[in-house]
Structures are given as structure tokens and as C-alpha cells.
Structure 1
């Protein structure tokens, strides 16, 4: 403090409390470049405007520290600031620009009082991370956001954004993650993906989007996660999606998708860990296709953990897949075939799924035995499976000594 030559100060998780007085010696450090005050408790006091005196600041982290009130205008004068994190303070307001100079990272996540329209600020052309998740913003997304050519992470989930998704997002050629989930976006998904070749994660779930899934996704070879669930999308699943060979999470549940699903297309998705196309109107056309082509899917799924095909129009027998196929499924933890039109007997291959934790076969026309070898099961649903052999077997499982059952049962009387 004698020389004021301190350039970095990390007081995160420092048990600091109450407010920061305006005459604090903190503001007498003119050479300070990095300041971290995160995870303290400033008792909902205001962010001091004296932060504007620290003209050499490049990184400022005030996250999760119980600040409230207006973000001071003086912060926008910190022309050397490249990193600003004021997330998870919950009671902050933003009425003046905070994005000027060469800011690269702006994190406003979890400040639910930042209600109102998205701020019309002097955006930094260097901005690469913009996180305003759960910030209470509403209104239409500004078309000008497409001018942020350096953006790599655009995270806008859990706000009240409305209107259509701007086609200007196609200009963000450096994007790695795009999250617009849990908003009120309407209209169709624009054809915007041709230029987004670096995209790894795409989440448009929990909106009110309609129309078909765009077919221009085949160039997204770096995509590992796609989530379009809980919208009103209709039409078939475009074949171009099945060219995304690095997919690990594929979520299309709770839409109005229809058509015949060709399971052979899944064979190339060898990295897939989670597949959920439940609550649509998809079908596999015949029992023969179900027996042979679904087997082909699973033979290639070394990493599959979650398989949910529930509430569709799949019919026919569940096949007794060959041991080679079953061996590839040893990591499967969740399997859901419920609310289809499956018939015949519960397949004996299930006994080999030793890591299976949740099994739902309900609302089909299946009979047979639930394998007692499934010692990892914690959830089992056989609602509306009326087979006599199945009922007797369930009774023995619950009341007998075949194994120590810890399952949560849902079954018909």
C-alpha cells in the first residue's frame, strides 16, 4: 500500500462482508490490473462508482457477492477492461452501457432484476463471450447482435426473449456454443447454419418454434450437442442430422415430428450417449424393420447411456438381440420404450445390461419376465402391461427372495 504497485488482488471467498467504503485503500492502487472479489457477502450494497478510478483494470470479477442496485456508469469508462463478471448477484440493474472498449468477456448471468429490453449498448467488436442467462431480459433479440463477429459463446437461456430468431446470427462464424433455450421465441428456425462450422453445442429447447428442422446442418461437423426439444416442430427428421458423426447428445423430444424413422441412419453416430426422440409421432414401419435395423443401431453404440423412444408409433416385437449387440450396450443406464405398440415377450437380453438404472416398458402389449439380474435398477415401470406371466413375476420379485429389490415400482393392479 506504500507504493501502490499492486497489479493483482484475489480476495475471492474471503469472507468479506458489508459494503466497500468509498475511501477504501483498494481505490488507491492505480496499477491494479486484476481484481477478484467474487463469492463474498457485501450485504446487497451498491457497487462503488470508485471502481472507475482503477483505470488499468483488465479483469474485474464481482460475481456471487450480493451486490445490488444500478451498475455504475463509471465501469464503462474502464477502457482496458477485457473481462467483466458481475453474475449471480440477483439484484443488480443495468440502465447504462457497460460494454465499451475492448471487452472480451461479459457475464451477467443470474441477475434476474436486469428486466426489460436487451440493452442497446456500444458493443465491443472484441466480445467473445456473452452470457446473460437467467437475467430477466425480454423483447426481441437485437438484429445488431449479428455484428459481434468475434463471439464464440452466446448464452441467452431462461429469459423472456420473444419474436423470431434473427437470421443475423449466421454472421457469427466463430460461435462454439449457442444457447437460446427457455425463452419465448416463435416462428421457424432460420436457415443460418451454413457458416457456423465451429459450433459444438446448439440448444433451442423450450421455446415455441414451429416448422421443419432446417436441413442445412450437415456442415456442423464439430457439433456434439443438439437440443430442439419442447417446441412445436413438425415434419420428418432431416437426414442431414445423421451426418453429424460427433454427436453425443441428440434431443428432439416433445415436438410434433412425424414420418418413418430409419434407424440405420443412427449407425454412424458412434459417440452418441443420449438419444431422446420421445413424445413425437415417429414410427418404424414394420416389425421386421424394428428387429433388424434397431439392432444395427445398438451394435454401434459403444457409449450410449440414455435411450428414450417413448410415446411414438413404434410397433412390432422387441427383438432378442444377438450377444454381440448386447455386449456393446453394457453402459446403458436409462431405457424407455413406453407408450408405443410393442407386442410379444420382454427380451431376455435385458439381463446383460448390468448398469441399467431405469427401465420403462409401460403402456405396451408385452408379457414375460423382468430379469432378476438387473441389480442396478432403481426405477421400473410396467404400467398397463397386462400379461399374466409378467404379473406373477412382478409379485415374486416384490414378495419373494429372488433378490434384494430396491426399485421404485409402477405397475398395474
Structure 2
């Protein structure tokens, strides 16, 4: 009977949430509009013109109220989403779950009226105030499960108030902007089974040294400021099956103690600067299905085969079970060959060994369960194994920056029908296209990187791709004009296009509406400057044969951060807008052209320039005092190199930019300051980079 009542109440809740007329009241406050939403609406408003002659008949347009800096949920014709206050009338509700919603504004205090709730799950952009939190803690005493993913709790004074919810068995406050100290007494609860406080970087705390909850099975403190006493953790939490501790303060690290966690199935200790050799032989983690030790300083070799089961013709590896599904060891100091037993793991779906010093050849995989494979930035050699082309579930494949060799037919990769990310750049491979396989495509490809692959033409396999985001074909042998069929590829989705260091002679158009990064450096481009869309943040076209004046369209690049037109034959005067047309322009390189005239006065006003190069032209005038004082200059620090983006993408970044030498007057050739690739990566990725690839490891979080 209880189940039927619960079902009825959930249905009733759905009907409530589906009717804004029923749930909203005249006194209800408007939810706060997100800045990106208001910006999108304003762009939509400016995309059409208003016919003033129709005012008398139709009335003023609704867009008259659409003004920047105001709450777009109050604009005429716009309705914001908020959880209605009438929700509090469902006093018999036992479970409230709202996932992946776009609700915003303050969490209604009426939720605290739902005194019979035993499960509250909210995944939204709501804001939780201290007063509402106190009501929830006081009234919802039956709560067993509380999940507030992405809810803004930054104003809640001390998360220790949660300790009053004595019935909780599961608490998840991931990405809630929690601050302050989390009381260790919370870990004393005998009925607590799951605790997730991850992605709260300002949350501090210590794990207790005794009186642990013996029932705790799931613990995630990822990307918090917790201090972890590792010996006490492994001694006290023997019921744990899932442990996430990336980027925590791990004290008393001793890898042999992991053998105490005999029930562990998922273990993540990435981003902790842990070092030494991994004591594989001392572990006995028979239930382990996911292990991530990435971004540490582990050294040595992976264990080779321990024994071999002749009856089943398969290896037996003691520290890692054959049913292991995910292994992440990227960005460490490991060396030697990839051991044979790795190729025999029958359930392996994710393998990340990037950024180590592995040598030897890639062997044939004996199973076809791979979902993600990243072995880039090593010293591997030999051909690509044939078994990779049979991994029908493969979504992510990165073999870049190795010494792999051989001739590979592009059509082979079309067998990977689910592939979304493919990177073969910077090997010794030669990719060819057989005319008898022209119909093969990569329909789901999102990022394709084939730099330095001896390609002589654009890969025809992307012609049907609608969701391509990144296309890297630099350092190849592509010549002539860009083919017409390419203009129709992913017009709405392509953001990153790198065609540098080829032999391209002409480019008729750039139709990609969302393009943010465009690299056409070191080609044979002739004629006028190609017109890049307004969305572009990085535009590189140096070392070509472009001529004519700098066109006025550059003044429409409102998001530009880096603009490099150097080493061409551009003539005429510098457009006045270049001094201050973009609030974000940091690097401007017009050096080694045929520009003449006065330096625009706009350079004397405030701007964001950090690097400016105008040498090698016939320009007159002097730099403004604000530039001469090196006000905005920022020298890259050598120590930045270690933990930034992988070298294969920007190995050849060496943009020469004239420094802000005090007293500098143009017309005099001065020295150069090299803008390091690391600084460029930071600037580009801040605007272009997109989301980092979701690891397979996430699939094991429950």
C-alpha cells in the first residue's frame, strides 16, 4: 500500500511541476537568469531588425525590455524555471528526485515541509541559504538519502549542521561550493554507507583516527582540501568498495597498506604527487575493477606475466584481476614495455598510459571490450596492431606522439563506427586513401587529429560528419585549394581547425559559425586575408603570401585573444580598431609586412595587450606610456611547463613578440621575446579547449 501511495504522490508532483499556472503565485520571486542565457537572448535579439511602422497595430516589440545587465527571467516573452513554493503542500511525499534540470534561483524553504521525505535528490543550479538549510535539518529527520549536486551552498555557514541528520545513510554534496571545516564527527555514524564531498576545493577537514563508521562503503573527497591520514584510513575503513581521493592531502603514504582494502572495487588516487615504485606483488585486490593512479610520480616497470594457465591459455596476474575494467596510469614516470597480461584482460574497457616512457611494440589485444585507449606521449614503435580496428565499442583512441610506423589505410578506422576521438599525430605513419573505399565515413567523429601523418589530401571520410569539433591536419603535404566539399562539414559545430605547415594556396571561405581557433600558418596562401567568423578567439595566418590591406572585418572579431598576421605582404595602414576593438586581445603580431603610416592613437588608450609586434614595417610614431611601463606584460614562468597541455598539440609554438622595452620607438628593430607555448596553451584553452574527455572511470561511480 505504501508503494502505491508513494507512486501516486510522485505522479501528483509531476503534474504540479508541469503546470506553471497551478504552482506559481503572484508573489513568487523570479529565478535569477544565467549570464550565458541572457547573452544568447541578446544575440538573438540583434539578429533581426524591428519594423517601427507596425507599432500601432502590434504594439511595441517584446524585445524592448531585453536589456543587458537585467534579469532575463523578467523580460517580456521570457519565462524562467523555478521550483514552485506549492511543492510544500505534498506533505506525504517520501521521495523527491529532480535530475538534470534547469531550475535556478533560491531553493524554496517549503521543501522543509515535506517531513516524511526519506530521499531528496536535486541536480540543478539552485542556491541554498543557511535559513533553508536549518529548516531542512530540523524538519526532515527521516532523510536517509540527501543528494544536492551542483546546488550553491557557499552561503551555508558551516556544513557541520548536517550532523543533525542522524538517519542519513547516503550524503552527496558534489560541486556545492562548500567552505569551511567539515566536522570529523560525521564519520562516526554507524549507519553511514556513502559520502561524496567531491569538487569543493575550499572545503577542509581531517579524517578521524578512530571510531570510524564500519559500514562506510563509498567515499569520495576528490578535489577538496581534506587531509588524509593514509595509514589510519586503510586500517579503519575495511568495508570500503569505492574510494576517490584525487588531489587531496594524503599524509603517511605507504602503498603496501592498500592490501588492507580487501573489498575495494574502485580506487582513484590520481593527482597527488605520490612517488616510488608500485608494489604490485604485495597487493591482493581481487575485487578491483577500476584503478586510477594517474598524474603522480610513480616510477619503475609494470609487472610482467606471473604465471600462465595452460588449460585456459591465459595469463594469471596476482595483483590485478582478469576482470579489471579500467586502468589509469597516465602522466607518471613508468618505463619498460607494456606487459603481455594487459592485452588479455577480458573486461578491459579503459586503458590510459599516456605520458610515460613505455617502449617496444603494441601487441594484439585479445578481447574486444575497449571503450577508451590512450597510450600517447610514450616511445612506442612498430605498426598499429590489427586488433584495434576490430574494437567496435571504441570511442576514444589516442596513439599520438610515439614512433609508430607503417602505411595505414584511412578506411580501416571507419570500422570503428562509434569512434568520437581519434588522434594519430606526430608518429612516423603514412595515411593513404584507397579509391575503392570512398564510401567509408566517420559519422560520429568529434575530434580528429592527423598532424604529421604524411597526408596529401583532406580525409574524405569526414564528409558526412555533422558533429566535428576539432580538425588537426598540420605538418602534412596537403596542397592546392581547400576542396569545396569541406565547406559543408560540421558548419555549426567545428571550433578548432589547424591546417598549418602545408602547401595550401587558396581558401575561399570560412563558413563555420562557431569557429574559435584557426591556424593557417606556414602555407602558400595568396590574395587577401581570409574572413574568419566573429566567434574566433585565435587567428594565426603568419608565414604566407597574403597581400592587400588588412580588411575591416577584423574589427568584428569581438572575442579575439591572439591575432598573428606576421610575415606576409600586407600593405596599407593599421586599422584604428586594432588598438582597442577587443577587450580580450592579448597578442597582436603584425610584424614583417609592408604596413605604413602612423601607429593608431587607439593604442594609447587602455587595452589588454600583453605582446605586441609591429617591427619590419614602415610605421611612424611611438608607443603610449601605458605600454612602455609594461603595465600589462606578463612573462611566462619556466616552471609552468610540467603540468600544462601535452606537447603534441603545440610543439611548434614559437611566436616572436616584441617586448615592451621602455623607450621603444617603432622604426627601430629591437630584440624579441619568445612567447612560450605554455602561455599560449593557457590562453587558448581558457577560451577554446572545451571540456576535458569524460573518463570511463566515471562509469563506476554508481
Scaled by the length of structure 2, what TM-score is found? 0.49
* In 2, Cα distance between equivalents of 1:72 and 1:56: 16
Find the counterpart in structure 1 of residue 357 from structure 2: 208
C-alpha contact (below 8 Å) 2:230/2:253 kept by paired residues: no
Q: Which deviations, in whole Å up to 9, do the C-alpha atoms of 1:346-384 show, x marking residues without a partner?
A: 322211112433322221223233434444433322212
Find the counterpart in structure 2 of residue 78 from structure 1: 213
Secondary structure at 2:346's aligned position in 1? coil
Find the counterpart in structure 1 of residue 472 from structure 2: 336
Superposition RMSD on alpha carbons, in Å? Answer: 3.8
Find the counterpart in structure 2 of residue 399 from structure 1: 551
How far is the alpha carbon of 1:389 from its aligned partner? Answer: 5.7
1:73–1:121 distance in 2 versus 1, CA, 3 Å:
farther
Find the counterpart in structure 2 of residue 262 from structure 1: 409
C-alpha contact (below 8 Å) 2:528/2:548 kept by paired residues: no
1:150–1:371 distance in 2 versus 1, CA, 3 Å:
same
1:398–1:379 distance in 2 versus 1, CA, 3 Å:
farther
C-alpha contact (below 8 Å) 1:190/1:214 kept by paired residues: no
Find the counterpart in structure 2 of residue 252 from structure 1: 399
* In 1, Cα distance between equivalents of 2:507 and 2:177: 56
1:106–1:395 distance in 2 versus 1, CA, 3 Å:
same
* In 1, Cα distance between equivalents of 2:222 and 2:251: 11
Matches within 5 A, 1:15-94: 17=157, 26=163, 33-34=169-170, 39=176, 41=178, 43-44=180-181, 47-48=184-185, 51-52=187-188, 54-63=189-198, 64=200, 66-69=203-206, 71-74=207-210, 77-94=212-229
1:160–1:372 distance in 2 versus 1, CA, 3 Å:
closer
Secondary structure at 1:175's aligned position in 2? coil
Secondary structure at 2:413's aligned position in 1? helix
Find the counterpart in structure 1 of residue 430 from structure 2: 283
Structure 1 gaps of 5+ residues are none
Are residue 304 (structure 1) and residue 445 (structure 2) matched? yes
Bigger share in helix:
2
C-alpha contact (below 8 Å) 1:107/1:131 kept by paired residues: yes
* In 1, Cα distance between equivalents of 2:429 and 2:383: 8
Secondary structure at 2:247's aligned position in 1? coil
C-alpha contact (below 8 Å) 2:259/2:283 kept by paired residues: no
Are residue 369 (structure 1) and residue 483 (structure 2) matched? no
How far is the alpha carbon of 1:310 from its aligned partner? Answer: 0.5
How far is the alpha carbon of 1:74 from its aligned partner? Answer: 1.4
1:249–1:145 distance in 2 versus 1, CA, 3 Å:
farther
* In 2, Cα distance between equivalents of 1:392 and 1:57: 62
Secondary structure at 1:74's aligned position in 2? coil
Matches within 5 A, 1:79-118: 79-99=214-234, 100-114=237-251, 116-118=253-255
Matches within 5 A, 1:83-232: 83-99=218-234, 100-114=237-251, 116-118=253-255, 120-144=257-281, 147-167=284-304, 168=317, 171-215=320-364, 217-219=365-367, 221-232=368-379
Scaled by the length of structure 1, what TM-score is found? 0.79
Q: Which one has a bigger Cα radius of gyration?
A: 2
How far is the alpha carbon of 1:268 from its aligned partner? Answer: 0.9
Secondary structure at 1:270's aligned position in 2? coil
Structure 2 gaps of 5+ residues are 1-136, 305-316, 532-545, 569-702
1:374–1:145 distance in 2 versus 1, CA, 3 Å:
farther
C-alpha contact (below 8 Å) 2:231/2:253 kept by paired residues: no
How far is the alpha carbon of 1:19 from its aligned partner? Answer: 8.6
1:228–1:267 distance in 2 versus 1, CA, 3 Å:
same
* In 1, Cα distance between equivalents of 2:219 and 2:496: 43
Secondary structure at 2:348's aligned position in 1? coil
User: How many residues align structurally?
Assistant: 390
Matches within 5 A, 1:320-359: 321=460, 327-353=463-489, 354-355=491-492, 356-359=494-497
Q: Which deviations, in whole Å up to 9, do the C-alpha atoms of 1:202-247 show, x marking residues without a partner?
A: 11112222222232x241x221211111222222211121111111
C-alpha contact (below 8 Å) 1:170/1:195 kept by paired residues: no
1:83–1:374 distance in 2 versus 1, CA, 3 Å:
closer
How far is the alpha carbon of 1:326 from its aligned partner? Answer: 6.1
Higher mean C-alpha deviation, range 37-46 or range 161-170: 37-46
* In 2, Cα distance between equivalents of 1:97 and 1:37: 24
How far is the alpha carbon of 1:144 from its aligned partner? Answer: 4.5
Secondary structure at 1:80's aligned position in 2? coil
C-alpha contact (below 8 Å) 2:344/2:366 kept by paired residues: no
C-alpha contact (below 8 Å) 1:17/1:40 kept by paired residues: no
Higher mean C-alpha deviation, range 205-214 or range 121-130: 121-130
1:390–1:257 distance in 2 versus 1, CA, 3 Å:
farther
Q: Which deviations, in whole Å up to 9, do the C-alpha atoms of 1:123-170 show, x marking residues without a partner?
A: 333211111122232111221576322222212222222111234488
1:105–1:376 distance in 2 versus 1, CA, 3 Å:
closer
* In 2, Cα distance between equivalents of 1:365 and 1:348: 17
How far is the alpha carbon of 1:32 from its aligned partner? Answer: 5.9
Find the counterpart in structure 2 of residue 292 from structure 1: 435
